[in-house]
Structure 1
C-alpha cells in the first residue's frame, strides 16, 4: 500500500485551509495539515473554529476533491492552556475528520506538561484524534527520548520533524528506539549540518508570522530545504517508519518570492515523491 503523502500547512501557510486542500488536489496529494490554532503570537488566525464559514468551506473542499485532513495544528501546550482552549480545537479537528493534533511542549515544567497532555489525550480520544508531540529544538520539549517517556505515560503520539530532530541533536539510534506505533507523522524537509547563523529580520513572513528570535526559529519557519537537496539522512528516517504518513514541511519564503507558491509546491511534491520512490526501490532490491 503506498505511503500517504501530505502537505503541512506551514509549507504554504499563505493559503487558507480550503485553498490548501484544493492546491493539494491540484498537485496529486491526498492529505494536508490544517492550522486551526496559531503557532506565533503575531500571526493572522484563520477562522477555523466550530461554526465558522471557513471550517465548512474546508470540509466541502475535502469532500469535493477527496483530499483528507491528516492533522490539525499547532497546539502549544503551556502553563495557562486548559480544556477551554483545546476543546474547540478538537471539535474543529473532528469536523475535518483529522486523526492527529500537533502538540508543542512550550511549558518549561515538563511534569506539568505531561499531566496536561494526559488530560488532552483523554479528551481527544472521544473525537478520534491522537495528540502527538513534536519535539522542537528551541522549545522546552526538544528531546525525543523525553517525548518517548511522556508518550508511554500518556498514550500520546510523536511527530518526527526531520529538521528539529537533527537540530536538536537526536541520533538515528535514539529515534530508532521510538516504537513504530507511537509515531503518527514524519514531517519531511532537508537541511545542511551547518546551521544558519543569522535571523533575517527584514523578511516579510506570510500571515504575519514572527521570524523568531534565533536562527533556528527563522530556519524552521522560513528557510527549509527541499527533500534530497541537503545533507540530512532522510532515507534512513523513512526506513525506520515505513508505514507512517509523510507530511512535506518546507517553508521557504525566498523560493516562493522568486518563483511563486505553485512552483514551490510542485518542487516540494516532486522531490518528496522522488525520495520516497528511491527508498522503495532500495527496499525492493534488498528483498
Structure 2
C-alpha cells in the first residue's frame, strides 16, 4: 500500500456508509489510505448499526484487520447534541472509540441554547479525558451551529476541537469564501482533521435538499467547484485529511473499492494543487479569490 509521506490520509465512514468497519479497513488499505473514520452509533433509524463495543465480534475483527493492514482509526462519530441528556450515549461511544484507539469524537450542535451546548461539550470533554478522546464540534450548514466562527467560539469555551467539512464550509450562507478562510486560519489550532468533498457552487434551496446532498450525493474532491486546494492551503501542512464523500449512485456504479480508489485519486490531486499554492507568492493570491 502506498503511504502519503507528508500527512495521514483517511476514508470516512460516510463515504461507504453500508460497508462494515472490518471491510472498510481492508478497502481503505487497498485504496492507499492511512486511517478510517468509524460510525459507532447510527445517526438515522434506517442506518445499519455497527456493534463495536468492547467484547463484540465486530470489534475483534476490526482490530485484526487493523493490525494486518496498518490502517488505524482516528475519529468516531456521530452524536447530534440537541439539549437532551445524552451522557450514556457518548460514554458508550467513547468506550468503543478507546478500544479502536481513536482520538476524536465528532458531534454537531442542534441545541439552540448556546450556553447549554457549551456546558454539554465541557462535560463531554471532561469525560473524554478518561478515554483519550476529545469531542470535535462540526459546523453543519443546516444546524444551529453552522459556521466555523460559532463552532470555534463554543469549542474554546468547552475545551474541545472543531471538525471542518468542506461541504458545510461551502454551504454556510452567512459569509463569503474569503471570510470563511480567514476564520479557518484564525482557528486552525482547534482543527484535528479536515474532511473533503466537492460539489457545485450553487447552494441547494431548502433544508431538505441540503440534508439529501450531505448524506447521499457529494462529488469527488477536485471534480466540483468548492475551491478545495485553497481550503487545504489555509491549514497546517501536515494536518490529517479524510475524504467524506457519500454517493449512492457512484458506489453502485464503481463498487466499494472502485469508489474508494476514485476518492483517493481525487484527494491526491487536490493535495498536489494545494502544495503549489503554498509556494512563496502564491498563497496570498489564492486565498484572496
TM > 0.5 fold call: yes
Kindly indicate whether residue 260 of structure 2 is the aligned counterpart of residue 252 of structure 1. no
Q: Which of 150, 173, 176 is 2:182 aligned to?
A: 176
Kindly indicate whether residue 264 of structure 2 is the aligned counterpart of residue 269 of structure 1. yes
Q: Which residue of structure 2 lines up, in the alignment, with residue 43 of structure 1?
A: 47
Q: Which residue of structure 1 lines up, in the alignment, with residue 285 of structure 2?
A: none
Query: How far, CA to CA, are the matches of 2:226 and 2:180 in structure 1?
Result: 15
State the Cα deviation string for residues 200-256 of structure 1 (Å, max 9, x = none): xxxxxxxxxxxxx70000001111011111111111110111222111011011112
Q: Secondary structure at the match of 1:6?
A: strand
Query: How far, CA to CA, are the matches of 1:135 and 1:282 in structure 2?
Result: 25
Q: Which residue of structure 1 lines up, in the alignment, with residue 150 of structure 2?
A: 146
Query: How far, CA to CA, are the matches of 1:81 and 1:187 in structure 2?
Result: 28
Residue 197 of structure 1 and its aligned partner are, at CA, apart by 5.3
In the alignment, structure 2 segments of 5+ residues that lack a partner are 283-289
State the Cα deviation string for residues 64-106 of structure 1 (Å, max 9, x = none): 1100101000111222233211111111101111111111112
Q: Which of 207, 225, 235 is 1:231 aligned to?
A: 225
1:125–1:172 Cα change, 3 Å: farther
State the Cα deviation string for residues 128-170 of structure 1 (Å, max 9, x = none): 2111011111112112211111111111111110000111134
Decide which moves more: 111-120 or 173-182.
Answer: 173-182
Q: Secondary structure at the match of 1:260?
A: helix
In the alignment, structure 1 segments of 5+ residues that lack a partner are 199-212
Q: Which residue of structure 2 lines up, in the alignment, with residue 114 of structure 1?
A: 118
Query: How far, CA to CA, are the matches of 1:79 and 1:282 in structure 2?
Result: 42
Q: Which of 210, 234, 246 is 1:240 aligned to?
A: 234
Question: Matched residue pairs, number?
Answer: 273
Q: Secondary structure at the match of 1:136?
A: coil
Residue 196 of structure 1 and its aligned partner are, at CA, apart by 4.1
Q: Which residue of structure 1 lines up, in the alignment, with residue 194 of structure 2?
A: 186
4+ aligned runs moved over 6 Å, structure 1:
none
Residue 284 of structure 1 and its aligned partner are, at CA, apart by 4.4
Cα RMSD of the aligned pairs, angstroms, is: 1.8
Query: How far, CA to CA, are the matches of 2:118 and 2:205 in structure 1?
Result: 33
Query: How far, CA to CA, are the matches of 2:45 and 2:110 in structure 1?
Result: 13
Kindly indicate whether residue 26 of structure 2 is the aligned counterpart of residue 22 of structure 1. yes
Decide which moves more: 173-182 or 132-141.
Answer: 173-182
Residue 285 of structure 1 and its aligned partner are, at CA, apart by 6.5
Kindly indicate whether residue 274 of structure 2 is the aligned counterpart of residue 279 of structure 1. yes
Structure 1 contact 74–101 (Cα < 8 Å) conserved: yes
Residue 286 of structure 1 and its aligned partner are, at CA, apart by 5.3
Decide which moves more: 81-90 or 182-191.
Answer: 81-90
Structure 1 contact 189–249 (Cα < 8 Å) conserved: yes
Structure 1 contact 73–101 (Cα < 8 Å) conserved: yes
Query: How far, CA to CA, are the matches of 1:20 and 1:44 in structure 2?
Result: 14
Kindly indicate whether residue 36 of structure 2 is the aligned counterpart of residue 32 of structure 1. yes
Kindly indicate whether residue 10 of structure 2 is the aligned counterpart of residue 13 of structure 1. no
Structure 1 contact 50–88 (Cα < 8 Å) conserved: no
